[in-house]
Chain A
């Protein structure tokens, strides 16, 4: 156990975490040149493309230290996005140390700071590393100051590296051995292992990743998960090299995997404790169920495909337990699902995975947060869907979730950020200079305001020089109204939105304008209206289409023209009929594309 080191890397997106990880694996011959694919740890297509880690992974590195001793270094990779902060916290809890990786050209970002605080809370030994020191625009001095100020370390504690150029890799490996403490635990005590991740493998079922805190786990042993109280046989245990490597036993302090034949991710909860069925111990610590923050409807584009979509959603949930869904019926869209996501990125990922991995094209409706309404009769109603909103005459009050938003930026962008956040009903709580050129702003804001276009606006208002992180606060009373969209006087339930009264009119106007762009002209005039209750707050008209006929049709044109009309028909099939108006799929996404 004294030669085991469990560590993770805390870094902001694009600060070079994956490249650095690859270098560590190469330098220790954990992977051969032949196996080398850039950024080995990010193995989902989507992760590669978005350059972020969605699910955490782990890999074991065997390292011969300069004194000749062999060390086992377990690198636990952590997700890099605020949507997945609970998974981050569990990955951190499985480690004794962390590399704090900061891009020399960019300095410390909000996301890094919040994860760093999590690491410090978990008593992790922090090894600060400044990466990309070979790049033009590296500000080594300035970033060094930032780090010293932030964690109170000495200048000489900070390692300098470049993943791309392979600089500083040996120093980092030696630093891990020398500075990160070995795991403490009792090998003789009953088994306690912390689950920090699980993945779904279509052939093996759920593969559970854990860190053994006390005791050890043996192949074929009967084990139990504390939170679900379910018993399983440990069909296979082992350690995580580039591929899984079976062993008879995984010892105290080590990181390993477990296969029990579980098919459904719901049975395995990140943060739960694995114990021995024969000799049960306590849970290591209480764990939280992750709660969805954002809700939206997902509907098949063609109504007939509902059963197929249900199948795919169920499969998707097998490997992403944080996705929740229940049946939803919409007049406009037919049968579909009300889904809960950890955040907007998570929603986007689910949608893309449905398309790429399951070949499903779907309509996603206006996302909203979860509101709490109290009726005059004293009932409390969770409103995850505009249709669940009680009638205004029966409503006593409604509350909305607030967050604490932390934004780190350059001083010249303070004004823009203030305008943005105050415009989104934010309340400035604190403003402090981390260094002369970096300022931290703390706002309390309604979560619903960051669901739409906040990230994009923040990015454009600060030319990308702002990082953002948030944590949920409590629910607060608020003037939330339901805004409906009507097409030729027919209400389109799938376009209804829950929104603060002060923002409703502008939102309605923009939405009507966007819909005017997206709805094809039809043989009659279309009136697009936004309404709060019976009051119309915005209106646009689409004039009637006067012509839908193409010119000539000679011999050579017949096949081509037939195909065009077949496509036209196919397109119509994909449209939804609202009263007499045909609405294309894009229109339901209009609300996500509103701009100024």
Chain B
């Protein structure tokens, strides 16, 4: 079993908080798509593994034309064993979505969309420098439903300095009223070297308030659970049966192929990432070489990654799986670290599962770091 990630590094406008790789000049779109096709051909490795999930991320994959998307999907079907029941997700921005395009996506086999709504309020969207406005956001949800997409996700960001608690509450209840099947929601994070980071340092924008973010996150957890959503991962909420299979694979350590500039891949031992430059990527691919760097994921790193990602999920660390994967000795050492979190009411050990409580979810990073094994 494996997944595929395709990175489409183009955006119409740069969101100030974003630290993913993208370019706002769209000229090289054709060349990048051609290079991605070539990269898929050049890729060796276990191509016979059944592919259960495909994910077009970005950047903004909805900037690709129907033809471009079809070419890539077609190539994947030729080069890989794409399972019939595969989950195929496309990230789309509200301002790109129209009825025809949505129809095209559904026809070519895309069966899940992830819409970058972020907020239903214009002041939030302007502050983030998003390309769309609030009414485009609402409209896009109607459009994709009209095209027959029942499996989709929206992103919602909380904790921007302009997002008041009342506004946030309203955002959450809108999502609930709209009966959105899946919500990815996260605190606005000031990543180093982003435009936002610079503006805050130059005092052009206010910084985020971690206490306010904590309150909004707590509200989110309560409201979503009350509305019948499963809080199945720190930032992921879904109606029953609507989990993101692709993201869940990441958290389980399932191997995935990554294509496109800046894309990551993981073959079970090595994590690779392609060069984050469109021209350099195209040039190298045209010379028959995939331009990537890699990191060997040693057993200890793999263990730490498992701790980190599984703690973020609702079932938490599965002690049986842990023992099978990493051995009795490591399990013993791991268990010695459980006590503090349990005493603090941040975690529960039950039926060989060590998982975070609602309070614990606010401290997931620190709890994971405490459990890490030294290299």
Known: A554-B57, A556-B264. A572 touches B365 (CB 8 A): no
CB distance B369 to A545 under 8 Å?
Answer: no
CB distance A568 to B210 under 8 Å?
Answer: no
What is the interface of chain A, defined by CB distance below 8 A to chain B? 523, 545-556, 558-559, 561-562, 564-566, 568-569, 572
Within 8 Å by CB of B258, from A546, A555, A569, A572, lies: A555
User: Is B31 engaged at the interface, CB distance under 8 Å to the other chain?
Assistant: no
Task: Give every chain B residue within 8 A of A547 (Cβ-Cβ).
Answer: 187, 210-211, 213-214, 217, 362-363
CA A566 – CA B365 in complex, angstroms?
10
Contacting A at CB under 8 A, from B287-302, are 295, 301
CA A548 – CA B295 in complex, angstroms?
27
Report the stretch among B134-142, B303-311, B325-333 that lies at the interface. B303-311
User: Is B250 engaged at the interface, CB distance under 8 Å to the other chain?
Assistant: yes
CA A559 – CA B305 in complex, angstroms?
8
- Size of the B side of the interface (Cβ < 8 Å), in residues, is 47
Task: Give every chain A residue within 8 A of B301 (Cβ-Cβ).
Answer: 562
Known: A566-B304, A569-B369, A569-B372. A558 touches B363 (CB 8 A): no
User: Is B284 engaged at the interface, CB distance under 8 Å to the other chain?
Assistant: no
Mark contacts of B226-262 with chain A using CB atoms, 8 A cut-off: 1 yes-contact digit, 0 otherwise. 0000000011000000000001001100001010001
Within 8 Å by CB of B189, from A551, A555, A558, lies: A551
Q: Give chain A nearest CB distance to B299 CB in angstroms.
A: 13
Task: Give every chain B residue within 8 A of A549 (Cβ-Cβ).
Answer: 234, 361-365
Q: Give chain B nearest CB distance to A304 CB in angstroms.
A: 12
Task: Give every chain B residue within 8 A of A559 (Cβ-Cβ).
Answer: 264, 271, 273, 295
Q: Give chain A nearest CB distance to B14 CB in angstroms.
A: 18
Smallest CB-CB separation from B374: which chain A residue? A569
Contacting A at CB under 8 A, from B327-375, are 344, 361-366, 368-370, 372, 374-375
Task: Give every chain A residue within 8 A of B214 (Cβ-Cβ).
Answer: 546-547
User: Is B119 engaged at the interface, CB distance under 8 Å to the other chain?
Assistant: no
User: Is B151 engaged at the interface, CB distance under 8 Å to the other chain?
Assistant: no
Smallest CB-CB separation from B273: which chain A residue? A556
Q: Which of B217, B361, B365, B370 has the most CB of A within 10 A?
A: B365
CB distance A546 to B305 under 8 Å?
Answer: no
CB distance A562 to B273 under 8 Å?
Answer: no
Task: Give every chain B residue within 8 A of A551 (Cβ-Cβ).
Answer: 186-187, 189, 234-235
CA A572 – CA B366 in complex, angstroms?
10
Smallest CB-CB separation from A543: which chain B residue? B211
Within 8 Å by CB of B304, from A553, A555, A565, A572, lies: A565
CB-based closest 8 A-B pairs: A551-B186, A546-B214, A547-B214, A556-B264, A548-B366, A569-B369, A549-B364, A568-B369
Q: Give chain B nearest CB distance to A581 CB in angstroms.
A: 14
CA A594 – CA B374 in complex, angstroms?
36
CA A463 – CA B374 in complex, angstroms?
50
Task: Give every chain A residue within 8 A of B186 (Cβ-Cβ).
Answer: 551-552
Task: Give every chain A residue within 8 A of B369 (Cβ-Cβ).
Answer: 565-566, 568-569, 572
Task: Give every chain A residue within 8 A of B366 (Cβ-Cβ).
Answer: 523, 548, 568
Within 8 Å by CB of A555, from B264, B362, B363, B365, lies: B264
Task: Give every chain A residue within 8 A of B187 (Cβ-Cβ).
Answer: 547, 550-551
CB distance A523 to B308 under 8 Å?
Answer: no
Task: Give every chain A residue within 8 A of B210 (Cβ-Cβ).
Answer: 545-547
Q: Give chain A nearest CB distance to B277 CB in angstroms.
A: 16
What are 27 inter-chain pairs, A to B, with CB distance below 8 A? A523-B344, A523-B363, A523-B366, A545-B210, A547-B187, A547-B210, A547-B214, A547-B363, A548-B363, A549-B362, A551-B189, A551-B235, A553-B309, A554-B57, A554-B250, A555-B258, A556-B258, A556-B262, A556-B263, A556-B273, A558-B305, A559-B271, A561-B308, A566-B369, A568-B365, A568-B366, A569-B374
Within 8 Å by CB of A553, from B251, B264, B266, B370, lies: B251
Smallest CB-CB separation from B302: which chain A residue? A562
Task: Give every chain A residue within 8 A of B370 (Cβ-Cβ).
Answer: 569, 572
Known: A549-B234, A549-B363. A558 touches B372 (CB 8 A): no
Known: A547-B213, A548-B362, A568-B365. A554 touches B247 (CB 8 A): yes
Q: Give chain B nearest CB distance to A555 CB in angstroms.
A: 5
CB distance A566 to B362 under 8 Å?
Answer: no
CA A324 – CA B278 in complex, angstroms?
60
Task: Give every chain B residue within 8 A of A555 (Cβ-Cβ).
Answer: 5, 250, 256, 258, 264, 266
CB distance B308 to A562 under 8 Å?
Answer: yes
Smallest CB-CB separation from B346: which chain A residue? A523
Task: Give every chain A residue within 8 A of B182 (Cβ-Cβ).
Answer: none
Contacting A at CB under 8 A, from B176-223, are 184, 186-187, 189, 210-211, 213-215, 217
